[in-house]
Structure 1
Amino acid sequence: MFSNKQHSKTIYQTLFEKFSVPVAYQEIKPVLCVYSAGRVTALSAFLGHTGFSVAPVYEGCLISSALKRSSLGGSTISNRLAEILTASHVNFNNEDLHNIKSTLSYISPNYEVETQLQSTEGKSYTFYDGNTQYLKNELFRPAEILFKPNLLGLDIDGIHYMINDSIMTCPMDTRNELTKNVVLSGGTSAYKGLQERLTTELKDVDEELFETLKIVVNPAQSAWLGASILGSLSTFPDIALSKQYYEECGNSVRDSFIAP
């Protein structure tokens, strides 16, 4: 998510010296995700395939001291689904896992209650070998690990506690604005029921802090969209590094365009 200085220098060098782009500018993913939602201040919560990150952005600047990261993500859910199906002696392949996750799976509004219900509505699914199974708790158990990592034996916080901890680490005068602007992005953020469940869990953690909570879900290519918005602004040339300036001023100017 964040490039080191040497990586950033290499990017500028490649863009200008190999591809001869006229101007270039580097920005971190959380800020771009916030821009994609039409904001400059928000809590960027990115739930991707390989992990989850929380990054408060205030007036376009990352509050780095409040950054939180976790290994919980789409791949963790896939592995959990595979374990559950294996325990049920079902033959499946990776395409089955993808299809079930993207079309049938959901996050339960109340996990404890739903696991006890015998009347939980299920869905039929035909696996690659032609075997059709009626899936019920297999549809909501895998993603529950986002809120209860202990189901995997992991001693880490769920995503709702990470969001709360991140906001509480921020300066007090920024917290209200951040809780009113939570931008949830990344492919896994499209999970059915996630927005509603996350709202409930956050208010259970701290009802007063999250009284004005508003979550915006912006899953698809949010960083790219934010970059396109930034690049289309009339002020973009004022903040970007031009190829001419890069060639004239050398390493000193290159360093000034790279965050420490």
Structure 2
Amino acid sequence: MPLFEGLSYTGDKNVVIVDIGAAYTKCGLAGESGPRCIIPSAVKGSVDGKIKKIWEYNTEEELFDNLKDFLFVLYFRHLLVNPKDRRMVVCESLLCPASFRHALAQVLFKHYEVGTVMFSSGHLLSLLTLGSSIGLVMDLGYQEALVVPVYEGIPILKAVQSIPSASKAIHSRIKKMLLETAKVTTETREEKSVSMMPECLTEEILEDIKVRCCFVTKFSRAKLIREITLHGGDSGKLPTPPPGVQYPLDGGKVLHISGEIRERACEVMFEQDNEEVSIVTLILDAILQCPIDMRKELAENIVIIGGTAMLPGMYHRIKEELFDLMKKPKYADNLSLKKFKFHRPPAKENYTSWLGGAMFGALETLPSKSVTRDFYLQTGKLTDWCALDREEVA
């Protein structure tokens, strides 16, 4: 048991906080400064015994079984607590499917018989860690990048922006570049192209390469590389790439990762598509969609969460791109922003929203914001985070 539990916290420690992400799930108890476990959002199939993500399902029954098995692991292997009659806070994304919420509620209320459940937006909970009710929250997760402006604790729904460009896109870019140019030294000291043995590039290996080897380069270098490669410039003017690395694989094999791959893999998040949209334009587009009297405060209260935001150089690159985009007529004529400010929450970006849930779970107002088991069994309804009808308040 962590030492800080006995220092100052005297609230209800029976509240379980869970943040089920597309790639990883964070789980712990209210009042603690960090999750007790961060594990892949995956379960072992009961039929074939293969590991699969809980989001991969064909029917609602399959989703129910996935969540039931996954929550069993959380409760009885990591938290070591009995779920019956306990309270729970679920940190969710605004883009979470309604079918997933209802399946999760069925598992919690009917199978594990929890006492109450509060579904809350992870973007709002992230601001709770800063003690602020105003902020522009960017979530760089696994599947998508999502920007949610929040003003006085209320998300501005018409200004929400999202694109499917995040960690999964980086993995695909790394795999593509490795298959094109990389070499593997086998245990017999023979060099082979990665394209001859693509089975070695599993999702786990690609993620580990991203975390250990890749980084977000400076805007000036990225702009020069982009101009030369896209417009057919003199390749001799390309900046000197960073040194390559030797990445060990199973069986004594070694993967040779060039400096170009390390530097350019993350550029997929900053490359604008046919509609001139990237993760940085999402911020300006979201501000542009907000009322004019909110824009300055939002630009000076930017919060970035999600595991992808932990890549080296991410904050500096986003800020440089913001000032460069402000020179375009689309934004220069409609936005008169002189500066952008970023908050650094008191937690790592990958569990910031979980920490907000842990703080909210320790408040005395939690029961009034939660759905009780009795109400759910009687009506089968779940209140959304923006619901106005609170008749089911416990």
In the superposition, the TM-score normalised over structure 1's length comes to 0.83
- State the shift of 1:107 in Å: 0.9
Alignment partner, residue 359 of structure 2? 229
Alignment partner, residue 40 of structure 1? 133
Alignment partner, residue 203 of structure 1? 323
- 148 and 56 in structure 1: CA distance in 2 versus 1, 3 angstrom threshold: same
Alignment partner, residue 213 of structure 1? 341
Residues 161-170 or 221-230, more deviating: 221-230
Alignment partner, residue 223 of structure 2? 112
Greater relative CO (CA pairs within 8 A, separation 6+): 1
- State the shift of 1:81 in Å: 1.2
Q: Choose 1 or 2 for highest CA Rg.
A: 2
Does 2:220 match 1:100? no
Three-state SS of the structure 2 residue aligned to 1:220 is helix
Deviations 1:86-131 (A, max 9, x none): 2214325235422321012111112134674453331322342634
Structure 2 Cα separation of the partners of residues 134 and 77 of structure 1: 15
Alignment of 1:1-260 (within 5 A): 1=93, 2-3=95-96, 8-90=101-183, 91=194, 93-94=201-202, 95-109=204-218, 110=220, 111-113=222-224, 116-128=237-249, 130-131=253-254, 133=256, 135-150=258-273, 155-206=275-326, 208-209=336-337, 211-216=339-344, 218-243=348-373, 246=375, 250-251=378-379, 254=381, 259=386
- 125 and 236 in structure 1: CA distance in 2 versus 1, 3 angstrom threshold: same
Q: Percent identity?
A: 22
- State the shift of 1:39 in Å: 3.0
Question: Does the Cα contact within 8 Å between 1:96 and 1:127 map onto a contact in 2?
Answer: no
Question: Does the Cα contact within 8 Å between 1:180 and 1:214 map onto a contact in 2?
Answer: yes
Structure 1 Cα separation of the partners of residues 368 and 337 of structure 2: 38
- 85 and 27 in structure 1: CA distance in 2 versus 1, 3 angstrom threshold: same
- State the shift of 1:50 in Å: 1.0
- State the shift of 1:211 in Å: 0.9
Residues 107-116 or 46-55, more deviating: 107-116
Structure 2 Cα separation of the partners of residues 19 and 102 of structure 1: 36
- State the shift of 1:68 in Å: 0.9
Amino acid at match of 2:337: L
- State the shift of 1:259 in Å: 4.2
Amino acid at match of 2:115: P
- State the shift of 1:37 in Å: 4.3
Three-state SS of the structure 1 residue aligned to 2:215 is coil
Residues 2-11 or 92-101, more deviating: 2-11
- 188 and 78 in structure 1: CA distance in 2 versus 1, 3 angstrom threshold: same
Structure 1 Cα separation of the partners of residues 278 and 223 of structure 2: 16
- State the shift of 1:22 in Å: 2.7
Question: Does the Cα contact within 8 Å between 2:182 and 2:258 map onto a contact in 1?
Answer: no
Residues 167-176 or 212-221, more deviating: 212-221
Three-state SS of the structure 1 residue aligned to 2:109 is helix
Question: Does the Cα contact within 8 Å between 2:123 and 2:137 map onto a contact in 1?
Answer: yes
In the superposition, the TM-score normalised over structure 2's length comes to 0.57
- 97 and 15 in structure 1: CA distance in 2 versus 1, 3 angstrom threshold: closer
Three-state SS of the structure 2 residue aligned to 1:126 is strand
Structure 1 Cα separation of the partners of residues 210 and 135 of structure 2: 28
Alignment partner, residue 32 of structure 2? none
- State the shift of 1:156 in Å: 5.0
Q: Which runs of 5+ in 1 are unaligned?
A: none
Structure 1 Cα separation of the partners of residues 263 and 166 of structure 2: 15
Give the structure with the higher percent helix. 1
Structure 1 Cα separation of the partners of residues 376 and 315 of structure 2: 47
- 119 and 193 in structure 1: CA distance in 2 versus 1, 3 angstrom threshold: same
